[in-house]
Amino acid sequence: MTSILAAKSSRPAAGATTAHESARAQIAGAASYIDDLPELRGTLYAAPILSTHAHGHLRAVNSQAALAMSGVVGVVLSKDIVGDPMLAAFAGDEPIFAIDTVQHVGQVIGLVVARSVMQARRAARKVVLDIEALPAILTIEDALQAKSYVLPPVFVNRGNAEAALKKASHTLTGTLEVGGQEHFYLEGQIAYAVPHEQNQWSIYSSTQHPGEVQHWVAHALGFDNHAVRVECRRMGGGFGGKETQAGHVAVWAAVAAQKFKAPVKLRLDRDDDFMVTGKRHPFAYEYTAGFDDTGRLTALQLQMAANCGFSADLSGPVADRAIFHSDNAYFLENVAIASYRCKTHTQSHTAFRGFGGPQGVIVIEAIMGDIARYLKMDALDVRMRNLYSDEVLAGEQANDPKAARRDTTHYQMKVEDNILDPLLTKLEQTSDYRQRKQAITAWNANSPVLKRGLAITPVKFGISFTATLFNQAGALVHVYLDGSVQVNHGGTEMGQGLHTKVSQIVADELGVAFDRVLCSASDTSKIPNASATAASAGTDLNGRAAQFAARHVRDNLAAFVCGLDGCGAGAIEFRGGMVISPKATRSFDSVVQMAYANRIQLWSDGFYRTPKIHYDKTTLTGRPFYYFAYGAACTEVAIDTLTGESRVLRVDILHDVGRSINPGLDIGQIEGGFVQGMGWLTTEQLFWNKEGVLSTHAPSTYKIPTAGDIPEHFKVDLWPEPNREDNVFGSKAVGEPPFMLAISVYEALRDALAQARDSHAPVVLTAPATAENVLSALK
């Protein structure tokens, strides 16, 4: 038994499937979230007062009835804010509480504070609002007509799209609408604000960005950032919805706590969470594509319009990333893109897994599918024909090393690590794509009602924050006298396994077992100015920073041991819980104790900044991404042509995670991302009525995928090649790229619709592909 344990402890931690560090606690109900934390004596509870109009003048707030209710302590409005009444967001266009204008149904006008949660919520509904209604803009079409924008339009061009369209052998013109998506995190938005002595504060927030919460709260309270400490041990899901929007909840709770000089907790119930918070940006597109007889795209004019809601939030970088990913895997030689960031009187839309990438990818994939149908070609062949490659452009000399090639994006980044040709070819074989395609065609010919469709779609997703300054991270590693290790870094855990991967990396750097390493809660008093855990870069940034911190400690110990044994520090090995020199083998624990006795530093910090990246945000050109993550999915679906119902029958995925730090976690992220993307494109419909009320604001009307929607055959394979860039462990990011694999579901549905219509005309299918939208597309 001892030898088995020794062998297990000597294995590297990274590269193995290790259970999520909180898995056992979560299964046992012992993992604490913000609402589980012990509450201090005197804690009060807040509930939001919500606008009932999409747009209007706020003339008065009558809280007499609410204040008369049992347990109610008071009301908080904009006039009670000590600091700046505007949120400290980069655009400065969003008030903490509505001041004299309301801009969407559900905008927070103030809070009712009471001695219990339910007292506060009941009282908030008794507050009477006097709002003079104003005309509201509720759709992208109306916003474009009114030139209503939260930010100026952006235009990106390469070549001469207009001239190339005139020369094109064929052209197609089309439109597409893609809906938004509710984050539907299991743990809703919540914050607990605790005032301390001498104007110091603790904020417990379910947030992906503790540093931003710290800054926003300090700004609203009128203090310096150092007065506010923000802590987050874990979130019950985030998906981008807690990148900026968690800051609102924390600020509201803190403003109330400042007024009443008591701790205040604010937890939105699910309905209010829907009505208050932003979603994935809905998009509308208009395009004209030119192509030749082989299916190769020669020209593209593309208009992308994003419904941003009433304020900018993160709409600028979201819409920018949609531009960056409007090529997906394909070379665009002559392209003109116009991006409009539309202001509407709805919730302020925000980050969501993929961050604009899915909205860019889906339109080019729809164009590829339509080209294939127009030319009566297989869609996979058209996609392969258009992939990035090292092929020299027409008119260039093939033997000229400086010749322009099909390897550079429309934002002037060279694609140096492209693996999509072999990856797609491999998936085509392992999924039996060609044979199944023939079988489905034959099956459809004999099935008048049910029709099947099949599609393979690729993904090329850029990894890094497009805002270069956010691509940095810090970490602390502490080694204690018993040889145990504690890590703290600037990332946040939202179920994705970041703390687990960071612990694996640190364990290997120090040569100790995984269970000797503990990741502590994200805390602004330990790691300052940390970037959001977003852009799929959590492990890339924080894992590398933690590795560097652990390396500093290891180097200190190595220098100490080589002094003892008279050898070079490079000869010292750390593995299996042992420190090995050419002269002696000692346990890691004993070396730590000896080093301490000799006053050797046993803790260190680590800092990492992503190399190679640069980006001019005025021209949208440069190298915004360190590398690309790739993947592809083959999906088979069936539709009922009488009811419009659809079902996913089979999914085969081949995805590139580089050299996986934790294959189990990575496969879980791929499966989860795909299913969430499938929900975006099939069942998750957001519907605002003509008064601007979000009608789908609860699980009864807003449908996320369930276990019953998962196909029996759901196969995920990992591409067996490390990252070609020098990334931590040779890994690649895995949080967001798999989401876009689900676009294969959408394309398979369009394939089924085309076969049902027996037509080669473009299939106009509004997403999500609800039963109603499928029936509409059939017509």
Q: Report the alpha-carbon distance of residue 594 to residue 15 in Å, rounded.
A: 31
Tokens, residue 10: 């000597």
Cα 766-287-382 angle, rounded to 5 deg: 85
Spatial neighbors of 440 by CB under 8 A, at least 6 apart, are: 452, 453, 454, 636, 755
CA dihedral 115, 121, 122, 124 (to 10 degrees): 100
User: Which position among 182, 212, 684, 736 bears the catalytic label?
Assistant: 736
Half-sphere CA count of 276, side-chain side, radius 13 A: 29
| Contact yes or no for 46/258 (Cβ under 8 A) | no
User: What is the SS3 assignment for 463?
Assistant: strand
Between CA 503 and CA 508, with CA 507 as vertex, the angle to 5 degrees is 125
Local structure of 2: helix, strand or coil: helix
Amino acid at position 680, single letter: W
- Order of strands across the sheet with 56-62? 101-102, 56-62, 128-133
Distance CA 436, CA 429 (A): 11
Beta 264-267 vs 44-50: how paired, if at all?
Answer: parallel
Take residue 650 and report the two structure tokens written for it. 């089979």
Asked if residues 319 and 639 have their Cβ atoms less than 8 Å apart, the reply is no
Tokens 């940034």 correspond to 541
Angle at 702 between CA 696 and CA 704, to 5 degrees: 160
DSSP assignments along 619-665, one per residue: TTEEE--SEEEEEEEEEEEEEETTT--EEEEEEEEEE--BS-S-HHH
**Three-class secondary structure of residue 448 per DSSP:** coil
Cβ 259 vs Cβ 74: under 8 Å: yes
3-class secondary structure, 359: helix
Euclidean distance between CA atoms 480 and 603, whole angstroms: 8
Distance CA 255, CA 201 (A): 11
Give the pair of three-digit tokens for residue 390: 């090292």
Nearest to 288 by CA among 296, 299, 280: 299
Instruction: With beta carbons less than 8 A apart as the criterion, state whether 575 and 14 touch.
Output: no
- Is residue 680 classed as helix, strand or coil in its secondary structure? helix
CA angle 412, 392, 397 (to 5 degrees): 115
Cα–Cα distance measured from residue 571 to residue 562, given in angstroms and rounded to the nearest whole number: 8
Check if 772 is active-site. no
Residues 6+ away with beta carbon under 8 Å from 147 = none
User: In the numeric block, which tokens belong to residue 213?
Assistant: 């919460």
Rounded Cα–Cα distance for residues 769 and 683 (Å): 7
Q: Tokens 């949080």, residue?
A: 735
Q: Is 336 helix (H, G, I), strand (E, B) or coil?
A: strand
The catalytic site residues sit at 736
